[in-house]
């Protein structure tokens, strides 16, 4: 019988625990579901030195071997990441030893993935130049500014370009690992693995990694934050800028300036993004028709709904629903 696929997870002190244990669990469960007749996966954790390895949460892992001891064929090389949350800001940690090791080791693996902030390590090794990539949305700006040759997209939960994969933060590592299982052994095993892990659904890579309102992280007593929460509950209503300004007892000019400074978006752009996000959820989770969704989210018409999807997501509502609809939702009739 053929040997199991060798998966090496490159780690370093302070690594995010789930970046290591999440994919390892996916590959382990998939292997057990395959049974003894079909080769599954063999997972190894490698660090600068074999032995105990502290993680960001204080829990210790055990590295099976040193990075320099990784020899022979590697099917899948996963590069875990870490984020520095000190000093009131978030930045990706780039371990220089791992980044240097990747320059030689990365090209030898059949496929390589940067997990969460691990994408920054691939970038430091020159493996993402001229390519599209994603990472945790909190460090996406850092990745783009430090590596201008990379086309950074902070929205998808994972991106694959040839043999190189990158993924968003935290639990997105599970989705990436499941996608790899699907590539190796088919969708049926990936879905069975997801069910065994009590995951709601195996999410495709194009699905968004964060919500528009949550991405702003506003203080709970912020006036703009209170308005955004109100907008979320009144999407189906007409919400022109004068109406929004009046709710805060501000002039239109002052309100627009304050809103943009607070959110980085104009009120109209923010409102369309939130409405589009609501439409995406309804396409994923309901069987409502396109006209009903357009009206219920405030986008107005099916034509406007189509235009928003084409402009912002480069797809159509019907195609989005086909790709991302929950398996528990009965497919609606053609719109």
Is 331 a domain residue?
no
State the pLDDT at residue 221: 44
**In which domain, by residue range, is 188 found?**
5-196
Measured distance between the N- and C-terminal CA atoms of the chain, rounded to whole angstroms: 50
DSSP string spanning 129-147? Answer: TTSEE---TTTHHHHHHH-
Q: Which CATH number does the domain housing residue 293 bear?
A: 1.10.10.60
Compute the distance between CA of residue 163 and CA of residue 107 in angstroms, rounded to an integer. 10
Is 137 a domain residue?
yes
- pLDDT tens string 198-232: 875 555 555 555 555 545 444 444 788 889 889 98
Query: Could you say which of 161, 196, 231 is where a domain stops?
Result: 196
Domain check: are 126 and 9 in the same one? yes
Query: Could you say which of 164, 196, 228 is where a domain stops?
Result: 196
Domain check: are 218 and 138 in the same one? no
How many CB atoms sit inside 10 A of residue 297's CB? 23
Domain check: are 41 and 153 in the same one? yes
Number of domains into which the chain is organized: 2
Closest CA relative to residue 220, chosen from 228, 231, 212: 228
Domain check: are 56 and 177 in the same one? yes
Is 206 a domain residue?
no
Domain check: are 31 and 162 in the same one? yes
Is 330 a domain residue?
no
Domain check: are 222 and 134 in the same one? no
**Nearest 5°: CA angle at 191, between 188 and 194?**
150
Mean pLDDT estimate for the chain: 89
Which residues lie across from 297 on neighbouring strands?
Answer: none
**Nearest 5°: CA angle at 109, between 163 and 154?**
40
Domain check: are 125 and 246 in the same one? no
Mean pLDDT for 4-16 is 97
Q: Which CATH number does the domain housing residue 15 bear?
A: 3.40.50.880
State the pLDDT at residue 157: 87
Is 335 a domain residue?
no
Of residues 170 and 210, the one with the higher pLDDT is 170
Q: Of how many residues is the chain composed?
A: 335
State the pLDDT at residue 88: 76
Domain check: are 188 and 261 in the same one? no
Of the listed ranges 137-146, 227-236, 269-278, 323-332, the one predicted with least confidence: 323-332
β-strands 158-161, 164-167: how paired? Answer: antiparallel
Is 329 a domain residue?
no
- pLDDT tens string 42-84: 999 999 999 999 999 999 999 999 999 999 999 999 999 999 9
User: Distance between alpha carbon 273 and the CA centroid of its chain, in Å?
Assistant: 18
Is 151 a domain residue?
yes
Compute the distance between CA of residue 288 and CA of residue 280 in angstroms, rounded to an integer. 12
β-strands 60-63, 51-54: how paired? Answer: antiparallel
Domain check: are 11 and 131 in the same one? yes
Look up the pTM and report it.
0.68
Query: Could you say which of 136, 161, 196 is where a domain stops?
Result: 196
Domain check: are 73 and 157 in the same one? yes
Mean pLDDT for 164-173 is 91
Is 334 a domain residue?
no
β-strands 76-79, 91-92: how paired? Answer: unpaired
Of residues 187 and 29, the one with the higher pLDDT is 29
State the pLDDT at residue 267: 94
Domain check: are 156 and 285 in the same one? no
Q: Are 132 and 160 a contacting pair, CB within 8 Å?
A: no
């Amino acid at each position: 019988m053929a040997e199991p696929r060798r998966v090496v997870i490159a780690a370093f002190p302070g690594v995010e625990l789930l970046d290591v244990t999440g994919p390892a669990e996916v590959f382990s469960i998939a292997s057990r579901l395959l049974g003894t007749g079909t080769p599954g996966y063999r997972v190894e954790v490698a660090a600068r030195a074999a032995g105990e390895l502290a993680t960001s949460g204080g829990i210790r892992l055990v590295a099976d071997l040193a990075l320099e001891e990784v020899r022979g064929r590697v099917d899948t090389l996963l590069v875990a990441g870490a984020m520095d949350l000190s000093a009131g800001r978030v930045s990706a940690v780039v371990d220089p030893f791992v980044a240097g090791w990747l320059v030689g080791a990365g090209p030898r693996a059949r496929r390589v993935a940067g997990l969460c902030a691990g994408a920054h390590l691939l970038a430091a090794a020159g493996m993402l130049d001229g390519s599209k990539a994603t990472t945790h949305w909190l460090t996406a700006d850092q990745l783009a500014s430090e590596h201008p040759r990379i086309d950074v997209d902070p929205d998808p939960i994972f991106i694959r370009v040839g043999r190189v994969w990158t993924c968003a933060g935290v639990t997105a590592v599970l989705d990436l690992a499941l996608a790899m299982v699907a590539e190796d052994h088919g969708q049926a095993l990936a879905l069975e693995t997801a069910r065994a892990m009590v995951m709601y659904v195996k999410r495709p890579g194009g699905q968004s990694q964060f919500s528009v309102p949550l991405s702003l992280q506003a203080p709970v007593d912020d006036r703009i934050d209170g308005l955004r929460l109100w907008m979320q509950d009144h999407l189906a209503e007409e919400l022109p800028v004068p109406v929004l300004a009046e709710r805060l007892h501000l002039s239109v000019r002052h309100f627009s300036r304050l809103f943009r400074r607070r959110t980085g978006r104009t009120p109209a752009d923010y409102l369309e993004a939130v409405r589009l996000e609501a439409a995406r959820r309804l396409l994923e989770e309901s069987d409502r028709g396109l006209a009903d969704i357009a009206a219920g989210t405030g986008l107005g018409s099916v034509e406007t709904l189509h235009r928003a999807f084409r402009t912002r997501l480069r797809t159509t509502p019907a195609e989005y629903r086909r790709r991302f609809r929950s398996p528990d939702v009965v497919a609606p009739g053609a719109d």
